[in-house]
Amino acid sequence: MVVTETISGLREQIARLRQSGKRIAFVPTMGNLHAGHVRLMQEARNHAQAVVASIYVNPLQFGQNEDFDSYPRTASHDKVALLSAGVDMLFKPAESEMCPRGREAQTVVEVPGLSNELCGAFRPGHFRGVTTVVNRLFNLVAPDVAVFGKKDYQQWLLVRLMTSDLGLPVEIIGVDTVREPDGLALSSRNNYLSPEERKTAPRLYEALCRLRDRVLREGMHLAAVEENAVIDLQSDGFRPDYVNVRRQSDLQLPGADDRKLVALAAAWLGQTRLIDNVEFELKS
């Protein structure tokens, strides 16, 4: 696996891959890799002859009083995971490479509207930071395909919208959430959970599954099922930010004729904010 920390080194390696006629798939990450990330890299291999990953803890997507400084940085562990996944190249830039004029002077890219809903309503500026850095990475790596996990459903959709709006020649692939045996969605932030919180955490997924089943059984009484899910989570010790059912295609409120839906939730358990979602489809 080739490792480069500079844009010049990255471009040199990308040029070599292009000269050899290889199709390139890209998996951007913030490190602290787990089996979910490995699954993304395995999927990337299905779409290209060369897999490039990046590790960059993006300061632009962290708000005030969020966990940028304490976010887990696990270089040795990550190297093993990347090698096991068969990654060909790792781009691991310093902040000076990604924001050469500083954070405040960095040109930003934002998808209006949806960036400020759901998680965006509770983390102002978060998705602007995501799309700004993902766009920069796309321009530097110039991949044919990029692979994202659908656990971060809103992020995945915003990257798709940004790529389409800017006319970037990158195919965006979404990969289903990888879960622990008890249903908990894999996430780097699961490491923050205490042993007791870890026992409780799968109930977020369980609440979304109950919501899905109730909608499938009783129809589109969304306000009631969303409220019941919030009450369920509160009774389990969560502090929900939101529980909502939206249209899969654009995360807008579903209409009477919409069939492909997704239930999304964000909730705090102790000091840890967990997110999850469940896709489902109504019968005609």
**1-14: per-residue pLDDT in tens?**
999 999 999 999 99
Contact, 233 vs 240, CB < 8 A? yes
Contact, 121 vs 50, CB < 8 A? no
37 is catalytic: yes
For the stretch 101-110, pLDDT in tens is 999 999 999 9
DSSP state of 217: H
pLDDT band at 95 (very low <50, low <70, confident <90, very high): very high
pLDDT over 90 (residue 226): yes
Amino acid at 262: V
121-134 average pLDDT score: 98
Would you tell me how many other CB atoms lie within 10 Å of the CB of residue 44? 27
For the stretch 168-187, pLDDT in tens is 999 999 999 999 999 999 99
pLDDT over 90 (residue 124): yes
Torsion, Cα of 220, 209, 272, 224 (10° steps)? 30
Pairing of strands 89-91, 2-4: parallel
pLDDT at position 221 is 84
Tokens of 271: 């000091």
Question: Who contacts 181 (Cβ-Cβ below 8 Å, separation ≥6)?
Answer: none
Contact, 242 vs 261, CB < 8 A? no
For the stretch 61-90, pLDDT in tens is 999 889 899 898 999 999 999 999 999 999
Closest among 245, 240, 247 to 273, alpha carbons compared: 240
Buried b / exposed e over 149-161, threshold 16 CB at 10 Å, is bbbbbbbbbbbbb
Tokens of 193: 């959970």
pLDDT at position 256 is 87
Q: Check 37, 47, 77, 126 and give the catalytic one.
A: 37
Delineate the domains of the chain, giving CATH numbers in brackets.
Answer: 2-175 (3.40.50.620), 188-278 (3.30.1300.10)
